[in-house]
Amino acid sequence: MSTRVMRSVLRCGPLLFALSACKSGHVVTPSMPVTSSLVVTYPAATIPAGDTSRVLRLRIAPKSLAGNLLGDTAMRTVLVYLPPDYATSGKRYRTVYMLHGFGQRRNGQNAWLTGYKGFHLGHTMDSLGVAGAVKDLIMIAPDASNFYGGAFYRDSPVAGNWETYIVRELVGTIDATFRTIRKRESRGLIGHSMGGYGTLSLVLKHPDVFGAAYAMSPCCIAVDENPGENASIWKVLLAAPDRPAVINAGFLGQAFVALGSAYAPNSAKPPLYIDMPAQLVGDRVVAVPSIVARWKAQAPLHLLDSLSNNLKTLRAFGFDAGRSDNFRDIPILTSIVDSMLIARKITHRFELYDGDHGNRIAQRLPTVVLPFIDKALVR
């Protein structure tokens, strides 16, 4: 579909969005929950020749992210892939939400736009549809970048209420805007790394929203009780005079502060607004046991103790890790999760495969993850 034709469709909303009125120009405001505002623009990216997909870029301003202490904008970008027959079929479609990993610092780009770990949303989905492997799915890929690189899809007065945004405002907006099958049995969730963390955390706490889920190489699902092992990083964080100084702590330092914004927010403690699980005693970095306990209690691995039965309500749940993951704890901790679920007689799919943290993502999404979700979701 050409840009000119798509813009014509957006002007006359009923074909794609069942809008009540036709808007001028190529920006429209569909009916939606009162908590958000939405504009739609096209194209999100250049569609390769012969690619008949619809990849839209939505801009959503959810109330759940407004007023965060990091100063991040509440206006968020969301990519939406529409199947090739969406404009003409009149039918409703299943949905799959895709959560990206940590490391995007306010870059204004959606992780799936130019190819996340080599996975190109529109091209790959159209290819799967032509092959008959996966079809009739609307794919939703929200941009979750922020000042530090991500908020781990958790609610926080510091970083914003990302959990609420995903499970309430985003899902509600998508269901109100597109012809979706509006029930949990037809709604899936997948994610990689921080997105894998988010996938596990969200399905544990919101089994009423998603019917199937797959976490790829979920990171950070447990809390290290000995911050002294990363003493150099914690020294930078403990001495940070402002938030930009956190960037000097590198990738792990930014991730620690991002997690702290969710686990132990403290609006009375500028500039980072978190309670640190570490402190300096002389030149040594030692744990603050009471704060470590707060962090630990909220980590997904520990949520499993009380919430694992929620996974029994899912139609399917899967997760994996590469044996040579750059983050050495990931294959260890996912194997622990596997053992926990086996002990609790919770049906699931788990695989340790030959690969590292990201070099097999583009291959495994279309061959393992998406077919797994497609088979589970109710048409």
User: In this structure, what are the phi and psi dihedrals at residue 168, rounded to the nearest 5 degrees?
Assistant: -115, -65
Q: Are residues 62 and 157 in the same domain?
A: yes
Q: Are residues 245 and 216 in the same domain?
A: no
Q: Are residues 142 and 250 in the same domain?
A: no
122 close to 139: Cβ distance less than 8 angstroms:
no
Q: Are residues 149 and 78 in the same domain?
A: yes
Q: Are residues 196 and 50 in the same domain?
A: yes
Q: Are residues 99 and 123 in the same domain?
A: yes
Q: Are residues 218 and 276 in the same domain?
A: no
Q: How far apart are CA 44 and CA 323, in angstroms?
A: 35
Question: Is 3 within a domain?
Answer: no
| pLDDT tens-digit readout, 301-339 | 999 999 999 999 999 999 999 999 999 999 999 999 999
Burial of 253 (0-12, 13-18, 19+ CB in 10 A): buried
- Tell me, what's the pLDDT at 115? 60
Question: Is 233 within a domain?
Answer: yes
Q: What is the CATH number of the domain that holds 52?
A: 3.40.50.1820
Single-letter amino acid code for the residue at 313: T
Which tokens go with 105?
């610092």
Q: What is the pLDDT along the chain (379 residues), one digit of tens a residue?
A: 333 333 323 322 222 222 222 222 222 233 334 345 555 544 444 444 344 457 888 889 999 999 999 999 999 989 999 998 998 999 999 999 999 999 865 554 566 766 667 778 888 888 888 788 898 999 999 999 899 999 999 999 999 999 999 999 999 999 999 999 999 999 999 999 999 999 999 999 999 999 999 999 999 999 989 999 999 999 999 999 999 999 989 999 999 999 999 999 999 999 999 999 999 999 999 999 999 999 999 999 999 999 999 999 999 999 999 999 999 999 999 999 999 999 999 999 999 999 999 999 989 999 999 999 999 999 9
Question: Is 246 within a domain?
Answer: yes
- Tell me, what's the pLDDT at 39? 53
User: In this structure, what are the phi and psi dihedrals at residue 239, rounded to the nearest 5 degrees?
Assistant: -100, 0
Q: Are residues 67 and 163 in the same domain?
A: yes
- Tell me, what's the pLDDT at 348? 98
Q: Are residues 157 and 240 in the same domain?
A: no
Question: Is 131 within a domain?
Answer: yes
Question: Is 42 within a domain?
Answer: yes
Which one of 271, 298, 325 terminates a domain?
298
- Tell me, what's the pLDDT at 128? 87
Which one of 248, 268, 298 terminates a domain?
298
**Structural domain boundaries enclosing 114:** 29-222+316-376
- Tell me, what's the pLDDT at 32? 37
Question: Is 190 within a domain?
Answer: yes
Q: Are residues 33 and 171 in the same domain?
A: yes
Question: Is 1 within a domain?
Answer: no
Q: Indicate the pTM of the whole model.
A: 0.87
Q: Are residues 175 and 237 in the same domain?
A: no
| pLDDT tens-digit readout, 106-146 | 554 566 766 667 778 888 888 888 788 898 999 999 999 89
The three-point CA angle 46-47-48 to 5° equals 115
How many distinct structural domains can be found in the chain? 2
| Residue/partner pairs of 322-327 with CB below 8 Å, 24 or more apart | 322/217, 322/352, 322/353, 322/354, 322/355, 322/356, 322/357, 322/359, 322/360, 323/352, 323/353, 323/354, 323/355, 324/354, 324/355, 324/356, 325/217, 325/355, 325/356, 325/357, 326/356, 326/357, 327/219, 327/357
Which one of 270, 298, 326 terminates a domain?
298
Helix (H, G, I), strand (E, B) or coil at 59: strand
Helix (H, G, I), strand (E, B) or coil at 34: coil
92 close to 83: Cβ distance less than 8 angstroms:
no
Q: Are residues 205 and 341 in the same domain?
A: yes
Question: Is 96 within a domain?
Answer: yes
